[in-house]
Amino acid sequence: MRISVFGLGYVGCVSAACLAASGHEVVGVDVNPVKVDLISRGKAPVVEERIGELTAEVVASGALRATTDVAEAIGATDISLICVGTPSAQNGSLSTVYLERVAEEIGQALTAKNGRHTIVFRSTMLPGTCLDLLVPILEKASGYRAGADFGVAVNPEFLREGTSVRDFFDPPKTVIGEFDAASGDAVAALYEGLPGEVFRVPIAVAEMTKYADNAFHGLKISFANEIGAICQALGLDSHRVMDVFLADSKLNISKAYLRPGFAFGGSCLPKDLRGLVYAARRADVSVPLLSHVLPSNEDHLRRAFDLVTAAGSRKVGLLGLSFKPGTDDLRESPLVELAERLLGKGYDLRIYDANVTLSRLMGANREYIDGRLPHLGDLLTNSVEEVLAHADVCVVGCKDPAVLSALDNAGDRTIIDLVRLPDAETRRAHPGYVGLGW
C-alpha cells in the first residue's frame, strides 16, 4: 500500500519504518525540516531500540522517504496515519491544536485528489474528538463527505518506548475504530499477518481503549511502588513479595508494570491519566481511585527526593535522565523532575545519560526540557566517571552497562538506587546503599 505518516515523533517514526519494512511504500511528513532531513539521510529522529538500523535499511531501499509538503504526500498515497502530539493543558484537558491543523491541511489537499483516500488517526484523543471535531474539519476543508468521498478511522497504538519496534511486529491486539467498513478494511490491510486479535469497533470505543489501557498501566505502577514503600518500612524486600504475587497467573496479571521502582513518566501515562480524570470531572463523574494515581506517583517521586536530602551532601550525581531506559524522551520524566527539584534547592548536580545528547533533542522533547532544565547543557557530562568524580551522592536511574560497571568503583559514595540494580540484594548489606522500596 502507499502510506503517508504525519508526525515523525516516536509513534510516527516507528510506524513509518515498520510499515516500510513490511513492504509498503511510505512517505513521512513533518513540519520540522530537521526530522525530515534526518529521515532522508537514513537516520531516525528518535532514540529507540532497532529504529536506527531499520530506518537506514528502508530509506536505502527506497521504501521510506520524508517531506514537509502535505499536498505532495496526500497525492502520492492512498492512506494517511496521523501521529501528531496531543499534549496536556494545565487543567489536564487535551490539546487538539496539532490534530486540527493537520486535519485542515489534509482536507485542503484532498480537493486535488482523485480516488478515495483514508485518514487514520493514531494520536491519543478522548472519545468524541474524531467524529465531533476532526471529521467536520476534514469535510469543511475538502468539501467532501466522510464515508462517501474519503475514509476515516481511529487506530490507537500500543507501542512502549524502548521496545516499540518489537511491539509493532508483535502487538497485543489491533484496534480499528471505523467510520465505515471500507475504512476499516483499509486499516486492517496495513497489519495483515501480524499476531494478536483484531477488534473492529465504533470510533469512540477505539478512542477510549487507549485511555483505559494507560490508566491501568499507571495504576499498576503506582500500586507496585506503594507496596514497595510499605515493604521497605517493614524491612522487607518488595521484589521478593512481588515475585510471589506475579507467579499467580490465574488471578494476578501483567508483569510488565508490577515491579517496584521509580515513579512513572513519559509522554503518555501522565497526560492520559490527566485527560481521563478531566473528562470524568466535566461529566460530573466521581473517580476517586483514578484521580489519586498521579498524586500517588508524585509521593513516590518525593520519597526519592527525601532520600537525597537525607544523605547530607550537596554534591549529587544523577545517572539517567530520560523517562525510560533505551530512549532519549525527557517529557515528564520523573528524573527530570527530580533534577529540577534538586537544582531548585541549591544542590550541585551533574548528570549522565548515554542516550541524551542536547544537540539531538528536538520538537516537543526539546521544548519540554528547555522549559524545565534550560541549563541542561551545563549539567550533562560525557561519562559516568565524570559524575563519580563530582558527586558524594549518586542517584541511579538507569541500568546502562557503563553505569553498572562504573558503580563497582563507587567507593564510599552514597548510592541511591531507583531501579533496583542487579546486585541490589548484595548491596543492601553495605552502608551507603539505599534502595527505593526494597
Q: What is the 8-class DSSP label of residue 128? A: T
Question: Given the C-alpha cell 497504538, which residue does it identify?
Answer: 157
30 annotated as ligand-binding:
yes
Dihedral sign computed on CA atoms, order 251, 197, 129, 330: positive
SS3 124: coil
Distance CA 104, CA 110 (A): 10
Distances (CA, A) of 418 to 300, 320, 340: 10, 10, 17
214 annotated as ligand-binding:
yes
SS3 224: helix
113 annotated as ligand-binding:
no
Per-residue cell: 180: 465505515
SS3 6: strand
Helix residue ranges, H only, 234-333: 238-247, 269-282, 288-291, 293-311
Is 268 among the residues known to form the active site?
Answer: yes
Whether residue 79 contacts residue 106, with contact meaning beta carbons closer than 8 Å, is answered with: no
11 annotated as ligand-binding:
yes
What strands, in cross-sheet order, belong to the sheet with 414-417?
348-352, 315-319, 393-396, 414-417, 433-435
259 annotated as ligand-binding:
yes
- Count CB neighbours of 146 within 10 A: 20
Helix residue ranges, H only, 143-261: 164-169, 181-190, 203-233, 238-247
Strands 173-178 vs 150-154: parallel, antiparallel or unpaired: antiparallel
124 annotated as ligand-binding:
yes
324 annotated as ligand-binding:
yes
Given the residues 18, 268, 394, 398, the one annotated as active site: 268
409 annotated as ligand-binding:
no
281 annotated as ligand-binding:
no
271 annotated as ligand-binding:
yes
Distance CA 43, CA 249 (A): 41
Distances (CA, A) of 163 to 160, 170, 178, 303, 398: 6, 10, 27, 28, 16
Whether residue 427 contacts residue 336, with contact meaning beta carbons closer than 8 Å, is answered with: no
Distance CA 55, CA 338 (A): 33
Q: In terms of Cα–Cα distance, which of 13, 15, 27 is closest to 63? A: 27
Whether residue 333 contacts residue 322, with contact meaning beta carbons closer than 8 Å, is answered with: yes
Distance CA 275, CA 280 (A): 9
86 annotated as ligand-binding:
yes
Strands 117-121 vs 150-154: parallel, antiparallel or unpaired: parallel
114 annotated as ligand-binding:
no
225 annotated as ligand-binding:
yes
252 annotated as ligand-binding:
no
Task: Mention every residue, 6+ apart, whose C-beta is less than 8 A from residue 429.
Answer: none
Say how far residue 168 (Cα) sits from the centre of its chain. Answer: 14
Task: Give the annotated binding-site residues.
Answer: 10-11, 30, 35, 86, 124, 161, 210, 214, 217, 225, 257, 259, 262, 265, 271, 324, 331
Task: Give the annotated binding-site residues for GDP-alpha-D-mannuronate.
Answer: 161, 210, 214, 217, 225, 257, 259, 262, 265, 324
Task: Give the annotated binding-site residues for NAD(+).
Answer: 10-11, 30, 35, 86, 124, 271, 331
As annotated, the active-site residues are 268
